Amino acid sequence: MAMNIHLIAGARPFERAMKPVRWAFSSHGIANLTLPWLAGLIPPRHHVTIQDEQVAPLDLGAPMDLALITAKTCYAPRAYAVAATLRARGVPVVMGGCHASLYPDEVQGHVDSVVLGEAEPIIQQLLFDAADGCLQARYIGGAVSFDGLPLPRRDLLPKRYIIDAVHASRGCSHSCGFCCMRSVYGPGYRARPVGETIDELRGLSPYLGFHDENLVADREHARELFTAMIPLGKLWMGQASVDIMEDPELIELAGRAGCTGFLTGMETISQANLVAANKTQNDVAAYGAMIQACHEAGIAVGAAMLFGLDHDTPDSFAETVQAMHDLEVDQAYFKIVTPYPGTRYFDELAAQGRILTRDWQYYDGCFPVFEPLHLTPRQLFEGACWARQEFYRYRHVARRMRNVRRLRLPWWAQLNMNRLARDAFADGEPWGERLLQEIEA
Ligand code: SF4
Quick check: 26 pLDDT over 50?
Answer: no
Distance (Å, whole) CA 58 – CA 424: 23
Mean pLDDT of 65-70: 98
- Cβ 213 under 6 angstroms from ligand 1: yes
Sorting pLDDT into bands at 50, 70 and 90, what band is 27? very low
Q: Is residue 90 part of a domain?
A: yes
- Percent of the chain at pLDDT above 70? 96
Contact status, residue 316 vs residue 383, Cβ threshold 8 Å: yes
Quick check: 19 pLDDT over 50?
Answer: no
Nearest to 151 by CA among 8, 42, 27, 4: 42
Ligand 1 nearest-atom number relative to CA 181: 8
Q: Are residues 417 and 337 in the same domain?
A: yes
Ligand 1 nearest-atom number relative to CA 281: 1
CATH of the domain at 399: 3.80.30.20
Quick check: 411 pLDDT over 70?
Answer: yes
Ligand 1 nearest-atom number relative to CA 214: 3
At 146 the pLDDT is: 81
- Cβ 175 under 6 angstroms from ligand 1: yes
Quick check: 168 pLDDT over 70?
Answer: yes
Cα-Cα-Cα-Cα dihedral sign, residues 149, 151, 156, 157: positive
Contact status, residue 201 vs residue 308, Cβ threshold 8 Å: no
Mean pLDDT of 150-163: 81
Could you tell me the residue range of the domain that residue 87 belongs to? 4-140
Burial (CB < 10 A; 0-12, 13-18, 19+), residue 193, is middle
The tens digit of pLDDT for each residue in 380-406 reads 999 999 999 999 999 999 888 888 888
Q: Is residue 156 part of a domain?
A: no
Q: Are residues 233 and 302 in the same domain?
A: yes
Q: Is residue 265 part of a domain?
A: yes
Which residue did the predictor score with more confidence, 228 or 206? 228
Cα-Cα-Cα-Cα dihedral sign, residues 341, 344, 345, 347: positive
Q: Are residues 310 and 268 in the same domain?
A: yes
CATH of the domain at 98: 3.40.50.2300
Q: Are residues 357 and 424 in the same domain?
A: yes
The tens digit of pLDDT for each residue in 111-132 reads 999 999 989 899 999 999 999 9
Distance (Å, whole) CA 88 – CA 96: 20
Sorting pLDDT into bands at 50, 70 and 90, what band is 16? low
The tens digit of pLDDT for each residue in 291-328 reads 999 999 999 999 999 999 999 999 999 999 999 999 99
Q: Are residues 26 and 106 in the same domain?
A: yes
Q: Are residues 125 and 195 in the same domain?
A: no
Which residues are CB-contacts of 133 (< 8 A; sequence separation ≥ 6)? none
Cα-Cα-Cα-Cα dihedral sign, residues 163, 168, 171, 174: negative
Q: Is residue 153 part of a domain?
A: no
Mean pLDDT of 133-149: 89
Quick check: 143 pLDDT over 80?
Answer: no
Sorting pLDDT into bands at 50, 70 and 90, what band is 174? confident
Buried b (16+ CB within 10 A) or exposed e, 32-51: bbbbbbbbbbbeeebebbbb
Q: Are residues 106 and 170 in the same domain?
A: no
| Boundary (domain end) residue, out of 109, 140, 171 | 140
Q: Is residue 145 part of a domain?
A: no
The tens digit of pLDDT for each residue in 237-284 reads 999 998 888 899 999 999 999 999 999 999 999 999 999 999 988 999
Q: Are residues 98 and 181 in the same domain?
A: no
Mean pLDDT of 82-110: 97
| Boundary (domain end) residue, out of 140, 173, 208 | 140
At 416 the pLDDT is: 78
Q: Are residues 40 and 73 in the same domain?
A: yes
Quick check: 134 pLDDT over 80?
Answer: yes
| Boundary (domain end) residue, out of 105, 140, 175 | 140
Q: Is residue 147 part of a domain?
A: no
Q: Is residue 146 part of a domain?
A: no
Ligand 1 centroid from CA 282, angstroms: 11
- Cβ 172 under 6 angstroms from ligand 1: yes
Q: Are residues 292 and 374 in the same domain?
A: yes
Q: Are residues 168 and 136 in the same domain?
A: no
Q: Taking the model in full, what pTM does it have?
A: 0.92
Atom 8 of ligand 1, residue of closest alpha carbon: 179
Distance (Å, whole) CA 59 – CA 146: 33
Pocket test for ligand 1, best of 172, 262, 282 (most atoms within 8 A of CB): 172
Ligand 1 centroid from CA 2, angstroms: 40
Lowest-confidence pick of 57-61, 210-214, 352-356, 413-417: 413-417
Ligand 1 nearest-atom number relative to CA 279: 6
At 22 the pLDDT is: 47
Q: Are residues 206 and 322 in the same domain?
A: yes
Ligand 1 centroid from CA 372, angstroms: 21
Quick check: 158 pLDDT over 80?
Answer: no
Q: Is residue 255 part of a domain?
A: yes
At 160 the pLDDT is: 62
At 433 the pLDDT is: 92
At 170 the pLDDT is: 87
Calculate the average pLDDT of the chain: 91
- Cβ 181 under 6 angstroms from ligand 1: yes
The tally of domains found in the chain comes to 2
